[in-house]
Amino acid sequence: MSKGYDHRAIEAKWQQYWEQHATFRVTDDVSKPKFYCLDMFPYPSGAGLHVGHLEGYTATDIVSRYKRMKGFNVLHPMGWDAFGLPAEQYAVKTGVHPAKTTAENITTFKRQMKRVGLSYDWERELSTTDPGYYRWTQWIFLKLFERGLAYVAEVPVNWCPQLGTVLANEEIVDGKSEVGGFDVIRKPMRQWVLKITAYADRLLEDLKLVDWPTSTLEMQKNWIGRSIGAEVDFALVGRAGAIRVFTTRPDTLFGATYMVLAPEHPLVDGITSEAQKAAVQAYREGTARKSDLQRQELEKEKTGVFTGGYAVNPVNQERLPIWIADYVLMSYGTGAIMAVPAHDERDWAFARQYQLPIREVITGGNVQEAAFTDTDRGTVVNSAASDGSFSINGLIPSEAIPKVTEWLAKQGKGTRAVNYKLRDWLFARQRYWGEPFPIVWVDGEARPIPEQQLPLMLPETSNFKPSGTGESPLANLDQWLATVDPGSGKPARRETNTMPQWAGSCWYYLRFIDSKNSAQLVDQAKECYWMPVDLYIGGSEHAVLHLLYSRFWHKVLFDIGVVSTPEPFMKLVHQGIVLGEDNQKMSKSRGNVVNPDEMIDQFGADAVRLYEMFMGPLEAMKPWSTRGVEGVTRFLERVWRLIVDDQGHLSSAVVSAGASLDHQRLLHQTIKKVTEDIEALRFNTAISQMMIFTNEMTKTQQRPRSVIEPFVLLLAPFAPHVAEELWGLLGQPPSVSQQPWPTFDPALTVSERVTIPIQINGKLRAKLDVGLDVSREEVERLARVEAAEWLQGKEPRKVIYVDKKLLNFVV
RNA sequence: GCGAGAGUGGCGGAACUGGCAGACGCGCGAGACUUAGGAUCUCGUGGGCAACCGUGGGGGUUCAAGUCCCCCCUCUCGCACCA
C-alpha cells in the first residue's frame, strides 16, 4: 500500500522554507489594517506541549493565516511565562538551577511548536525571566509604588509550612495548596500588597466593553462582588462608641433582634462582660486555631457566644444583645452585622440554634419555617418608630431601602455604602525564581531603586531552599542583601521577596509589540497601532486570575499614559479541555495522556491540526480519538489524490477547462461556509464543508483548476504544509500563505433547484423538487397531487407556505 | 446553597432569525478491485415487521418546537457563611 503523501518530507520542507524566507515576520506596516492574534503564553513545563495546548494554538494559527490572506497585518507572537514554582521545586530537589531547566524546556516547547507549523513571528519571542523583560515588570512595580498602589501591610496570609511560602487565595484549592496539595494555615506577616480594590469599579464597569464568554464575565463579576447597601451605626449600651455594620437590606432594620461581631473584631474585648469573659476568650481561641480547611469542614453548623454587651437599634431604640460568631467574617464589610433572622438564612439558623427571637418585617413567607429572603415581593410591616416619627410600613423592599438609608443619613446614623468581595492582591512570594522587587529598606522604610538602575538582577546562587522563617532564599545571600540607599547613601537591606508568577504575565502582550525596545516598555505609536488584542485564546483556568490582574495593570498603565485603550483583550475565547480516549481527564496516573510528538510522527502535523479542530466546538470539552485522526488523515489523502497522481505528478484529472455550474456552486458555497465559519471560530463545520467538497470532486474526472486552486487556498490555514505542496504542484509559486483569500459570488451560493417538504398537519408526507423561480400557486398545485393520498379529496382548512422552504396543509 | 453553561444515533458532533432532525467524521454492515488487505472505491447505517415513535423527563404556545414559555431531573465549571 502507499500513503497518499509523505507528510514527513513535506512538513520538514515547508517549515524550512518558512523559516528561511521569514514568511511570518511582521512589521509595523500601518498602511494595512492590523489584527493582533494572541495565545496565552505557556509555562514551559518539563512535560512539553500537550494536545490541549495545541487546540488553542491551532485555532489562533488558523485565524492568523486566514487574516493574513485577507490582507491584514497580523501580529501573532509567542513567548514564555517562565518564572514559577515547578522549576524552583525541581532545583530544591536536584540542585539544577531553574534557569537551566527553564532554558531546556523552552527549547523543547519551541521545537514542538515549529513542528506543528505554527506561524509565529519568532523574532518577537520573549521570556518573563529575561532581565531585558523583567526590567519593565520592575518598572511597572515602581509606578504602582509611586502611585500608592503598592504598599506593605501586616496581613493574615495563607502560610504553607511545607512549601515554606505564602500563597495567594487563588493558589489554594479546598484549603490545600494548589501545587502539592499541602495544608495551609493563617498567619500574620508583613507583605507587599497591590491595591487592586482601588480599581474595583472600573474593573467591573469595563466588562461591558469586551466580547468575552458569559461564564468568564460572570466569574469576574462575582469575584469583584460589588454589593450596594448601607453602613449603620448601633450605639453601644453603657459605654461610648458604636458598632458599625454593613447591610444590603436596610429595609429589614426593624427586624434586627441581635448583633454579631467577627471573633477577631477589635471591639470584642471592650464590650465583653465580666461574666462572659471566659466563654468569649475560649471561643476566640478556638476560632484562631482553625485552619481555613477546618472552618469549611465544620460547615453550616453555626456556633457563637454571647458577649454580655448590648447595642441600640437606631430606628427603634431597641437593646440588642451582641454575640460573636465565626460565620461573620472580619475580612468583609465592617466585620460586624445586624442579625435579621426573619430575612436572612444564616441569621435564621443561628437564631434557631440559640433561641433568639425571629421578627417578621416583610410579609410573604412563613418566618417560623424559614427565612424569607425575597426582595421582589412582600410588603414591609412592623417597621415604625414608636413615637410615630418614622415608618416604612406598607412599602415594598425596593422603596423601603432608599427611604431608610436617607433617614439614617439625616440622623447621622448611617450612610449609603458599597462593598466588594475583592481583596487587595497579595503580591509577594518567598521564593527565588521570580522578579526581585526594586526596593531597598532603610530605617524600616521602603525606598524605590531609581528607574535608571533597572533591571535589578536576580542574583546567582546554588541554594534554592526557602529559609523557612518566611523569608525567601535571597535572604541567605549576604553580599547581595547589603547595599546602600541610592537617595541618602545610608546602609540599606534589599527586599528579599520576589514577585508572583502573575507579574510577568500581566503585561507581556504589550512587549510583543516592541520586544526589543531598551528605552521604553513599548513605543507609543506602535502601541496605538497594535492595541488592543483582537483575539485572545487560552484556558478558562485563567478566567479570574491572570485576566483580572492583567486588566488591573492595563488600567494603571492607561492612567499613566503608557497604553491607549481601557481594556487589553477585546475578544476572548477559552478552548475546551481535551480528555483522554477514555473520556477521563488526561493524567499520567491514568495512562491516557496523548503525546503530540507521537501523533505528529504517525499522522503528520497537518492531520493533527485538522483533527484538533474537527473534534468539536472549540470551547467544548471533548475526548481525543486517534481513530478520528485517522479519519482526517484519509481526508487529506483524498485531497492529495484529487490533485496528484500515483507518480507524484499533477493529476491529469486537473484540467484548465471551465467549471460546470454545479462545480462553481459547490466551490462558492464552500468558500462562503469556510470564510464565515473561520470568522465565527467554527472550525469543525468549516472542515466538514471541505470534506463535502472533496467527496464531490473525487467523483469527477474533470477537476477544473478554477475550482481546485481556490480550494487549496481555503485549506491552507488548516493544513498549511500540504497546501503549500499542492500549490507548488499546481505550478504556482510559493507561498500559498501569501495568496489573497478567495471570495465568493453570492449568486453562486444558492442552487437553482430546491426541495420543498410537503407537510400535512406538520408531518412530512412528500417532497417536491422545483426550480427557484417557482410560484406559490405552482407549488400548491403540485403538492395537492403529491399529497392527494393524505388529503383524501378534502379541502385543507388552511395552507401555510414559507417561500421556497415548506408547504403545510392543515386539515 | 448561589451563579453560569450543557443534555441530540453505538461514539465525536451538525441543524443561521421556530420550518425536511441526525450534515461531516468515527464505528458497523454489504459489495467492488484483489494472492491478500487493517489500503482504496461504491452503497447502506436513529428505533420499530408496520401504522408510527424519536433531540434528559413532564406540561404548554404554534399550522409547525432540538430551537420559544413553565415545572422537574442529570452533568460540567466557578463561588462557597460575602451580611
Instruction: Quote the DSSP letter at residue A22.
Output: T
ω into A596 cis (within 30 of 0): no
Instruction: Quote the DSSP letter at residue A739.
Output: S
**Alpha helices, DSSP H only, in A457-603?**
478-481, 502-505, 508-511, 524-530, 545-559, 596-603
Where b means 16+ CB within 10 Å and e means fewer, A326-357 reads bbbebebbbbbbbbbbbbbebbbbbbeebebe
Contact A474, A432 (CB under 8 A): yes
User: What pLDDT score does A175 carry?
Assistant: 66
A343 CA → B42 C1’, Å: 72
Query: Within a 10 A sphere around the Cβ of A292, how many other Cβ atoms?
Result: 17
User: What pLDDT score does A638 carry?
Assistant: 93
A687 CA → B26 C1’, Å: 15
A668 CA → B9 C1’, Å: 31
Bridge partners (DSSP) listed for residue A55: none
Polymer length of chain A: 811
User: Which nucleotide is nearest to A757 if distance is taken from CA to C1'?
Assistant: B20
Contact A60, A68 (CB under 8 A): no
Find and give the residue nearest to B25, measured CA to C1'.
A631
User: Which nucleotide is nearest to A349 if distance is taken from CA to C1'?
Assistant: B81
User: Which nucleotide is nearest to A805 if distance is taken from CA to C1'?
Assistant: B19
User: What pLDDT score does A266 carry?
Assistant: 95
Strand order of the sheet with strand A535-537? A73-75, A34-39, A535-537, A572-573
Best CA proximity match to A626, nearest among A659, A653, A601, A663: A601
Q: Which three cell numbers stand for residue A29?
A: 506596516
User: Which nucleotide is nearest to A767 if distance is taken from CA to C1'?
Assistant: B20
| Residue partners of A799: CB distance under 8 A and separation at least 6 | A780, A807, A808, A809, A810
Find and give the residue nearest to B20, measured CA to C1'.
A757
User: Which nucleotide is nearest to A617 if distance is taken from CA to C1'?
Assistant: B13
Q: How far is CA A209 from the centre of its chain?
A: 16
User: What pLDDT score does A470 carry?
Assistant: 73
Instruction: Quote the DSSP letter at residue A21.
Output: H
A713 CA → B38 C1’, Å: 33
Query: What are the 10-residue block averages of pLDDT along chain A, 811 residues in total?
Result: 75 97 96 97 93 95 98 98 90 92 97 97 97 98 98 83 70 69 78 95 95 94 95 95 96 96 95 96 86 58 93 96 94 95 94 95 90 88 90 93 96 95 90 95 94 95 78 89 90 94 96 97 98 96 94 98 97 95 88 93 96 95 94 94 90 90 94 96 96 93 94 97 96 95 93 85 84 84 82 80 87 80
| Residue partners of A627: CB distance under 8 A and separation at least 6 | none
Count of helices and strands (H, E) across chain A: 26, 31
User: Which nucleotide is nearest to A246 if distance is taken from CA to C1'?
Assistant: B83
Q: Kindly provide the ipTM of the predicted complex, given to two decimals.
A: 0.95
A221 CA → B69 C1’, Å: 29
CA distance A308 to A276: 6
Find and give the residue nearest to B4, measured CA to C1'.
A215
CA distance A435 to A370: 53
Give the CB-side neighbour count of residue A431, counting CA atoms within 13 A. 25
User: What pLDDT score does A1 carry?
Assistant: 33
Best CA proximity match to A551, nearest among A562, A564, A567, A537: A567
User: Which nucleotide is nearest to A326 if distance is taken from CA to C1'?
Assistant: B81
Best CA proximity match to A527, nearest among A537, A517, A535, A536: A517
CA distance A196 to A215: 22
Find and give the residue nearest to B3, measured CA to C1'.
A218
In order, the DSSP letters of A626-640 are: HHHHHHHHHHHHHHH
A556 CA → B64 C1’, Å: 56
User: What pLDDT score does A2 carry?
Assistant: 44
Best CA proximity match to A437, nearest among A468, A475, A489: A475
Where b means 16+ CB within 10 Å and e means fewer, A779-806 reads beebbbebbeebbeeeebeebebeeeee
Nucleotides on strand B lying under 7 Å from protein C-beta: 3-5, 11-15, 19-21, 23-27, 37, 39-42, 53, 63-65, 76-83
Best CA proximity match to A554, nearest among A562, A128, A500, A79: A562
CA distance A576 to A617: 8
Find and give the residue nearest to B78, measured CA to C1'.
A219
User: What pLDDT score does A31 carry?
Assistant: 96
A811 CA → B59 C1’, Å: 25
A374 CA → B72 C1’, Å: 22
CA distance A434 to A133: 12
User: Which nucleotide is nearest to A543 if distance is taken from CA to C1'?
Assistant: B78
Contact A390, A400 (CB under 8 A): no
CA distance A330 to A326: 9
Query: Within a 10 A sphere around the Cβ of A382, how many other Cβ atoms?
Result: 14
Best CA proximity match to A758, nearest among A774, A781, A742: A781
Q: Which three cell numbers stand for residue A558?
A: 492607561
User: Which nucleotide is nearest to A626 if distance is taken from CA to C1'?
Assistant: B26
Q: Which three cell numbers stand for residue A160?
A: 504553607
User: Which nucleotide is nearest to A690 if distance is taken from CA to C1'?
Assistant: B24
Best CA proximity match to A766, nearest among A803, A800, A809: A809
A595 CA → B6 C1’, Å: 29
Q: Is A166 helix (H, G, I), strand (E, B) or coil?
A: strand
Best CA proximity match to A257, nearest among A331, A350, A332: A350
| Residue partners of A183: CB distance under 8 A and separation at least 6 | A160, A161, A162, A175, A176, A177, A291, A293
A696 CA → B42 C1’, Å: 13
A640 CA → B73 C1’, Å: 49
Please report, in angstroms and rounded to a whole number, the separation of the first and last CA atoms in chain A.
61
A154 CA → B71 C1’, Å: 52
A697 CA → B31 C1’, Å: 23
List C-alpha distances in Å: A599 to A112, A580, A717: 12, 14, 20
Contact A610, A666 (CB under 8 A): no
